[in-house]
Amino acid sequence: MCDLTGPTPVQLSLRLADERGDGVEALVWGGLIENLILPDGISEQAADPGVTEWVISWLDPPPDRAIERLVKALRGMGATEISLTTVALDVGLDGWREHAREWTVGPFVVRPPWVEPTSGDETTEAAIDLVIDPGAVFGSGSHQSTRMALELLSARFDGAKVGVPLVVPDEVIDVGSGSGVLGIAAALLGAGVVRLVELDPAGERVGLANAAANGVADRVRWAGTDVAKLDAPEGEAARLVLANLLIGGHESVAPSVRRMAAVGGTVIVAGILEHQEDRLLAALAPTVPLKRLVEPSETDPTVAWVALTLLVTDPHGDRALGERA
């Protein structure tokens, strides 16, 4: 293993069977490896049939021990051809961008700025153009969890789709905002104020830049790296909290998410697998499900992603359900 004592950018390359792809994301983004800092770039592309080549890049490399734990975990998943190399600052870190494309989700066409919108398609031309450059944080809009959250968010602004009266939220909190894709989408749908909360401080620069690129900089604000420090809502204004996180992240911020939504508020959650749903509901309890989406994983059809719209209810039972839905 190469010397990682200096701030030299590094890339970890590996090959893994397609059905184990979600495991890579869980290791890299889920905080399962102690002291493993979030990468500045991650790409995946088809190699041999049924095999994906992954490249994970850091501008400032994690500690040796963290890399060693990650490599050991990847080998345990069946990864092969694992290699760690140093790279120049301007070489390779953005290789994933070559494979980016636009995605249609609900009323949105989500695309990076270097991908031109599809022309000549009436559906695309009528949709909301959502331009997202994830920079060095998570959130290109291409992951299933993000797409499912966008679908639920769109439905929340169309009450007929969730079976409750339509109320456009005065304020939206995007917890784990990453690139800001969900919060910016809420602003494009008509939310009055959107606050972005992201553990990675780079989320401020990336999220606000994307807000400006989509013409909603006046309504999208940076709220810091710690949702626990945000003030609780005042009055009876509708409050919507978005949280697209892995299960460990959901459990750690659940008390703050409940407090921010407040009784009668709504929470849209994504990023969990179906077998983790009970853990999520226990962390956020009590809530009433308004809408549930479930989709088989695109990389491992033996598991499924789940996204939920939940109404926050009073644990003491003295507030009417749906009073502020």
Gap between the Cα atoms of 185 and 190, Å rounded = 9
What does the DSSP 8-state code read for residue 188?
H
Provide CB contacts within 8 A for 158, sequence distance 6+: 166
How far, CA to CA in Å, does 53 sit from each of 49, 70, 83, 307?
Answer: 11, 16, 12, 28
Confidence of residue 162 (pLDDT cuts 50, 70, 90): very low
> How much is the pLDDT for 138?
53
User: In the beta sheet, which residues pair with residue 172?
Assistant: 194, 240
Which range has the worst mean pLDDT, 90-94, 212-216, 230-234?
90-94
pLDDT over 80 at 245, yes or no? yes
**For 149-166, what is the mean pLDDT?**
69
Let me know how long the chain is. Answer: 325
**For 113-139, what is the mean pLDDT?**
66
Give 49 or 126, the one with higher predicted confidence.
Answer: 49
DSSP states along 4-15:
-SS---EEEEEE
Helices (H), the chain: 21-29, 64-76, 122-126, 144-156, 181-189, 202-213, 247-261, 277-284
Confidence of residue 122 (pLDDT cuts 50, 70, 90): very low
pLDDT over 90 at 47, yes or no? no
Gap between the Cα atoms of 153 and 173, Å rounded = 12
Under a CB-based contact definition with an 8 Å cutoff, are residues 103 and 109 in contact?
yes
Beta-carbon count within 10 A of 116 CB:
8
Q: Would you say the C-alpha torsion 196, 217, 143, 44 has a positive or negative sign?
A: negative
Q: What percentage of the chain reaches a pLDDT higher than 90?
A: 30
